Chain A
Amino acid sequence: MIVKTLIKTSEYHDSVSLMLVARELSKLESVQDAAVVMGTEANKSILADAGLLTEEAGAASPNDLVIGVSAPSDSAADAALQKAEVLLKQKASSVQAGEFKPKTIRGALSSNPAANVAVISVAGRYATDEAWEALSHGLHVLLFSDNVSLEDEISLKKYAREQGLLLMGPGAGTTILNGVALGFANVLPRGPVGIVSAAGTGLQEVSTLLARHGVGISQGIGTGGRDLKKEVGGVMMLEALKALQQDDATNVIVLISKPPAEEVVRLILDQLAASVKPAVICFLGGDASQSALEKIPNVIPARTLYECALLAGRLIPDEVGDVKTFLDAENSGLAKQAQNLKARLNANQYYLRGLFSGGTLCYEAQVIWKEILDIPVHSNAPLPGGSTLPDSTKSRRHTAVDLGEEEFTVGRPHPMIDNDLRIRRILQEARDPEVAVIMFDVVIGYGAHPDPASELGQAVEDAQKLARGEGRELVFVASVTGTEEDPQSLSRTTSTLEHAGVHVCDSNSAAARLTALLVSG
């Protein structure tokens, strides 16, 4: 096998375009493997794993574009590299032919002074400067980019607060402003629930569960996962909360986060107490703050995203019945389903593996697993006091992997856009004879892959075939975060997965429960 690389110095392309070029190359019959990536350290290690890291690729800088191919012959490798150049140029020229695209925020604003929100998704090392540029021009900012330093986040948010602007992020995957989905978000009805969330998929899960119960949202504001850390001080959650408290269209407030720092909890509680609007608070996995929450009359704590949605929905009269009764009935149904499925497993299939694209969904699953399982779940994103997976790329015993963590996303698209990483991981888990059940989340809606169910469903079928070849059966459990109106459609996505043999639950919480019941007791 011949390995060749081509380095294009100081040539920038976004990760999604590069993924598309790499995909085109891989389709060539004469190409064994191909990678088209910026020369970051993380990407170099991916190249090394794929056996594509040549000496010149190793010397590339993060500003250089690296094209690597392996092919059976020298000429086939050269042809593939040429093809890559053509594909990259095509992309460039199609931009020129279309409508004029300004190159800078300043330039864009000079032609479009009415712009009010900037959505920034450039690589982290450039994102801070662009966010400053946007804020200083009076724009609210959704900072989708990851890999922005904590110091930068703090100073950006302080400045935004002084200016009365929203700085949502960094790493804010989801926001719904005035009914418009920005980033990863779903087609939702407008309604009385206003959500502020430090967790993107948490916001998606709660808002879509509400939608399934016919409850709409007024605003859904993502703050980025670090907002409630002590250092950041919950700046944006507090600002957004104040805005929702003053917003006439918002009757019920929902706050979602991993457990905040204690001093931040205090600030939030003080702000919640300043208004009589009812608020459902889901500090996922934070048992300690529950009791403090209960002391404020208009605040209702929720343990999981699912509970959070049910409780918020219930505050809208007549929408949902009694939450506890509802949950008890559902749980006993899941227990029966688990009993039936267990019969398919061998005696030495002990473990569950959760492969998540949504960080909050990974977290919510662990909250439920902690409650049900006797032994700990290892994770690259564990609960407070949980067990950290030593190597994120290798599962051990019960494992929950958040594939949207930064360690996986530097220089490559998020697993909600690109299923490749998860497909590989599903197959990897299927080879482990001790695995009983593989659970995964499927997030649809704007920003997500156009048809994740087909690709993941295929992976499930391949994995099942692999396991059966080794004389065992695997159980696949999933939930779909989305609505019927989403471009991928909830029902179509569900039926594609079910057709592939996946047990699809109504919520991530239910899927986690079913998964745990399969490997407990």
Chain B
Amino acid sequence: MTKINELFGKDLTVLNVGLASMAKSVSDQGVRVIDLDWQPPKEGIPRLRQTRSGVSMDAANQEVVSRIQRGQAVLIGMGIARDVIPGMHARMILHAGPPIEWQRMCGPTRGAVMGALIYEGLAGDESEAMQLATSGAIEFSPCHHHHGVGPMAGVVSASMPVWILENKAFGNRAYCTLNEGLGKVLRYGGMGPEVYARLKWMASDLYPALDRALQSLPNGIDIKSLIAQALHMGDECHNRNRAATSLFLRAIGPALARTNKDNEVLAKVIEFIDRNDHFFLNLSMPAGKAMLEAAEGVEGSTIVTVMARNGTDFGIRLASMPERWFVAPAGQVQGLYFPQYTEKDANPDIGDSTITETAGYGGMAMAAAPAITQFVGGTPQMAMQNTLEMYEITFGEHENLTIPALNFRGTPLGIDVRKVMETGILPRINTGIAHKDPGVGMVGAGILRAPEKCFKDAFEAIKEM
């Protein structure tokens, strides 16, 4: 029997590409119609299938997606940045996003750099810190060049404690500082005694307590598994980490209790974690980094393995050319602002936290987190649509991270530069908003899309690949 005769016996399900009236008249007959929001293709975007040396891009992308999915991001311990992060030294400051020199750094990044220099005792006050930063005596380097990620300004200095995650499937590691909470904090460029005091307490009390607890857990804590569970509990693990933070506390709780003798310190540690819904962000980010980095170096792949911003520039890197940044000016975030602030106060998009979208959660999994719209704006329905739209530009769907509201469909995974260019759909990002001036901190949260130019330039590079 031919496929035509098979069709004669079946219920029709119609895809409508074009006039809405056509879709309507079919659905009026009680037939299921999926009406596309069709747009003409972008001019001059060729369909790329293989590299010049004949490597199939689809096959390469399949390998990349498979590697990301096989990744097992486990929290295995902690350490001090200078001791554990490759290449780190006393006069180095790591920052979020693509490389940038002091002169082009945005307010929050400058604030965070100056704050870190004061925190490290390299400068006595803000003007000394400014002098030192401009002097050339400090080496600035992106977190991503050191297997690291940092939220917002993403500043890491030598004496800061960091999480160490290991991708058990591939053996590579990723690093990230501990989350300070919301409000006036270093990662938003906040400076001042309360900022340094908090960082000091984190190093003196929080870090040792957590470190001792982790040392008592021989298998560490499986962060990927916590992310998968949190997606079923209303988090997307970028801008909503409430469930994941609770899960983490549950996972580490007994070990914390067993390894800490001072109940008051223990109580403060638990309180600190509990009062910061974003505590888990600094785990979900390095988890993404650990899983994505293992997928780098696959020839012919068109999948993005890094999206990161430094508050001035937005940069992406591809699995096939992991050393190369494709950079464009960072965008403005559309969002909700804390009282007294408006978009006039907002710094452009900033932070390495877009590693979550790159790894198949965050904005990609917004359908799992309808409540997030209270934080970043929009409606639960929009959250659903965001995720559905992202399937148009990803190469695969995650086998382990699923979305209950989509009948446990896998999250959109592996942003494919080709699909971004063919459809004109840019990745959506959920993010916090920093004040544009140094020293102020967070002023809101919202949503935006990655800038087109990064993808355009990357597409040109793929053409030559």
Contact = CB atoms under 8 A, between A and B. Distances in A.
A240 to B, nearest CB: 7
Contacts of B7: 116-117, 140, 166, 177-178
Given A105-B17, A118-B15, A122-B17, A243 B37 contact: no
B90 interface: no
Contacts of A219: 8
B182 interface: no
Interface in B426-446: none
Interface in A105-124: 105-112, 114-123
A101 B14 contact: no
Residue from B1, B9, B15 having most chain A Cβ neighbours under 10 A: B15
User: Which bracket fits the contact residues of A?
Assistant: 35 or more
B8 A417 contact: no
Interface string A159-181: 00001111000000000011011
A247 B40 contact: no
A415 to B, nearest CB: 15
Interface stretch (A80-88, A126-134, A380-388): A126-134
A120 B388 contact: no
A239 B4 contact: yes
Interface string B379-414: 001101100110110000100000000000000000
B13 to A, nearest CB: 4
A182 B397 CA distance: 33
Given A14-B18, A117-B15, A182-B26, A112 B4 contact: no
B19 A180 contact: no
A103 B36 contact: yes
A95 interface: yes
Given A14-B18, A166-B4, A114 B13 contact: yes
A181 B25 contact: yes
B43 A164 contact: no
Contacts of B29: 180-181, 446
B18 A145 contact: yes
A447 interface: yes
A187 to B, nearest CB: 8
Contacts of B1: 246
Contacts of A14: 18-20
A381 to B, nearest CB: 23
A102 B392 contact: yes
Given A178-B10, A219-B8, A119 B37 contact: no
Contact of B41 (A114, A129, A134, A166): A129
A105 B13 contact: no
A63 interface: yes
A242 interface: yes
Nearest to A446: B25
Interface in B345-390: 381-382, 384-385, 388-389
Interface in A178-194: 178, 180-183
Given A103-B37, A107-B392, A126-B40, A115 B13 contact: yes
A46 interface: no
B67 to A, nearest CB: 21
A73 interface: no
Contacts of A17: 20
Interface in B4-39: 4-5, 7-23, 25-26, 28-29, 31, 34-39
Contacts of B259: none
A183 B17 CA distance: 12
B34 A102 contact: yes
Contacts, number: 172
Contacts of B8: 177-178, 218-219, 243, 247, 249
A102 B37 contact: yes
Contacts of B18: 14, 119-122, 144-145
A100 B388 contact: yes
A421 interface: no
Given A112-B34, A243-B2, A447 B17 contact: no
Nearest to A242: B2
Contacts of B84: none
Residue from B7, B9, B38, B388 having most chain A Cβ neighbours under 10 A: B38
Contacts of B19: 14-16, 121, 144
A130 B17 contact: yes
B130 interface: no
A14 to B, nearest CB: 6
Interface string A214-258: 000011000000000000000000011011001101000000000
Contacts of A240: 4
Contacts of A139: 15
Nearest to A413: B19
B3 interface: yes
Contacts of B388: 100, 102, 107, 111
A447 to B, nearest CB: 5
A121 B26 contact: no
A96 B389 CA distance: 11
A326 interface: no
A121 B14 CA distance: 13
A121 B22 CA distance: 8
Contact of A108 (B2, B34, B384): B34
A104 interface: yes
A126 B15 contact: no
B38 A117 contact: no
B5 A247 contact: yes
B203 interface: no
A325 B388 CA distance: 62
Contacts of A116: 7, 10, 12-13
B3 A103 contact: no
B425 interface: yes
Residue from A107, A130, A240 having most chain B Cβ neighbours under 10 A: A107
Contacts of A16: 19-21
B423 interface: yes
B448 to A, nearest CB: 16
Contact of A101 (B9, B37, B384): B37
Interface of B: 1-5, 7-23, 25-26, 28-29, 31, 34-41, 43, 381-382, 384-385, 388-389, 391-392, 397, 422-423, 425
Shortest 6 CB-CB contacts between residues of A and residues of B: A121-B18, A101-B37, A446-B25, A164-B3, A107-B392, A243-B4
10 contacts: A12-B39, A96-B385, A102-B36, A103-B38, A119-B14, A166-B4, A181-B26, A246-B2, A247-B8, A447-B22
Given A104-B392, A178-B8, 7 more contacts: A97-B381, A122-B18, A134-B17, A140-B7, A164-B3, A177-B7, A177-B12
